[in-house]
Amino acid sequence: MLRAGVAVSAHPEALVAAEELARGALADLGRADAALLFATSGYGDELGSLLEAAIAALGTENVVGATAHGVLGAGIEHEGGIGVALLALSGLEVQPFLIPELASEDARIGQEIASRLGGEPRPEDLVILLPDPRAMHPSLLLDGVREALRPACIVGAGAADPISDAPLQWCGLELESGALAGMVLRAPHVPRVGVTQACRPVTDLLTVTRAEGHWIRELDGRPALDVYREVARGPLAADLRRAAAFVLVALPRDDAAPLEPGGYLVRNVSGFAPEQRAFALPEVLGRGARLALVQREPEAARADLKRMLARVGSAAPAFGLYFDCAARGVGLFGVPGLEAAYLQHALGSAPFAGMFGSCEIGPIAGRTELLTYTGVLALVDA
């Protein structure tokens, strides 16, 4: 029988935190066959000890995870500082993995994961990917995974914090940096997966009429930066570095509803050239490509979170996983624990856990994509 248990701790002593996790997660579970463990980098050199103690208490080395900007579970969020979340599982076939040297293996990773399954990938399989964001080539990684693991559901998040600390990934007692940790859950039913975004479109679709490499020169025949400034308005139009945190670009992926929630990717503006009246994007767009400008705001994010929870259905799952963006949370909503509270209300007594990552992985218009400013929810039914 598929069952799960969850626990969250913010105890500063690693061994005490591990004891709290195991005791809490196993209280109603009894035993664990596998677990997902997410921890902030605040534990520093004690992270290995925490992981070792948790594995010993759980009685299984099928434990996978990564460092995170924050963790959540059981209606609680801990961002920054110290925090660790554990989702323990029993009665479910799993395949954990840790692939080192991600940068040199991107294109082959999908095949390597598929070779460990002992059978063909199924729609019921949930593939969890926890890559080091500094080491991955997103297009190579996701192209390979999509091709090799189709028709499985694929979700995940980039380990954090890639700026102040080296992100870590683990499987069992093995910890690495620059790697990909993950797990395939061979679920009995097709997982329910939802994606929630933090932005709302503030323009219609615009056509790129002139571009050079990453630089967008013209939109609908007008200087691209002029169009951007009109949307930013006021002080933001004068302070482009600040504007870049709020006015972003949507790349449509759903032909039928390109600007509806879940129909587009969100990308940051990566540079400005005021003299050329142009801006740059992380991705290369050619002439004729379509895009829209979107604004990141808490009201839109909260409304879309509620819509997403309604879309995935009200039936209680066996457990849930939530991969959230580090740029959401209290920094976006101004309220600590808001998303965890919404999840708890929607899922009731079903255990769930997750992490705040540096990026997210989930489906947009039916295709696995690298996401930003999103929350990705995966529900597994018994």
What pLDDT score was predicted for residue 106? 72
* Pair (62, 169) in one structural domain: yes
* 215-258 confidence digits (pLDDT tens): 999 999 999 999 999 999 888 888 999 999 999 999 999 999 99
What pLDDT does residue 164 have? 61
Query: Could you tell me the maximum CA-CA distance found in the chain, to the nearest angstrom?
Result: 65
Q: Which of 271, 295, 319 is the C-terminal boundary of a domain? A: 295
323 has a pLDDT exceeding 80 = yes
> pLDDT value at position 214?
97
- On whether both 47 and 115 belong to a single domain, the answer is yes
Q: Are residues 76 and 166 in the same domain?
A: yes
pLDDT band for position 80 (cuts 50, 70, 90): confident
**pLDDT value at 88 more than 90:** yes
Q: For the segment 8-24, what is each residue's pLDDT rounded down to a tens digit?
A: 999 999 999 999 999 99
Whether the pLDDT of residue 161 is over 80: the answer is no
Q: 80 and 50: one domain?
A: yes
DSSP state of 106: G
CB of 189 closer than 8 Å to CB of 92: no
Rg (CA), the chain: 21
> Is there a single domain that holds both residue 25 and residue 133?
yes
Mean pLDDT of 91-108: 89
pLDDT given at position 163:
59
pTM to 2 decimals?
A: 0.96
Q: Which phi and psi angles does 365 have, rounded to 5°? A: 55, 40
Place of tokens 């169009």: 227
Q: Considering 279, 295, 311, which residue would you say is the last residue of a domain? A: 295
Asked if residue 78 has pLDDT above 60, the reply is yes
Total domains, the chain: 2
pLDDT at position 103? 81
Helices (H), the chain: 14-26, 47-58, 102-105, 109-115, 138-149, 224-232, 234-238, 240-243, 298-311, 329-333, 338-347
Cα 28 from chain centre = 28
pLDDT at 104 over 80: no
pLDDT, residue 202, reads: 96
Q: Are residues 251 and 180 in the same domain?
A: no
In angstroms, the first-to-last Cα distance of the chain is: 8
The set of residues, in sequence order, having a beta carbon less than 8 Å from that of 304 and lying 6+ positions away, is 196, 197, 198, 261
Q: For position 287, what pLDDT does the model report?
A: 96
Find the CATH number of the domain harbouring 245.
2.40.30
Same domain, 316 and 285: no
Helix (H, G, I), strand (E, B) or coil at 39: strand
Same domain, residue pair 179 and 158: yes
pLDDT at 353: 98
Domain hosting 67: range is 3-196+301-380
* Mean pLDDT (whole number) for 194-205: 96
Query: Cis link prior to 381 (omega < 30° from 0)?
Result: no
132 and 38, same domain (yes or no): yes
Residues 63/97, Cβ–Cβ less than 8 Å: no
Q: What are the pLDDT digits (tens) for 340-351?
A: 999 999 999 999
**Same domain for 10 and 78?**
yes
State residue 107's pLDDT score: 74
Confidence check: pLDDT of 101 > 90: no
Q: For residues 153 and 51, state if they share a domain.
A: yes
295, 310, 338: which is the final residue of a domain? 295
Residues 205 and 259 in one domain: yes
pLDDT average, residue stretch 198-214 = 97
Residue 242: phi and psi, rounded to 5, are -70, -40
- Tell me the mean pLDDT in the region 34-47: 94
pLDDT value of residue 158: 96
User: Is residue 339 very low, low, confident or very high in pLDDT (cuts 50, 70, 90)?
Assistant: very high
* Average pLDDT score, the chain: 94
Q: How far apart are CA 187 and CA 195, in angstroms?
A: 20
Task: Tell whether the model's pLDDT for residue 121 goes beyond 90.
Answer: yes
Residue 114 pLDDT > 80, yes or no?
Answer: yes
Q: What is the mean pLDDT of residues 30-56?
A: 95
Of 28 and 129, the structure prediction assigns the larger pLDDT to 129
222: Cβ contacts below 8 Å, ≥ 6 apart = none
Backbone angles phi, psi at 318, to 5 degrees: -70, -35
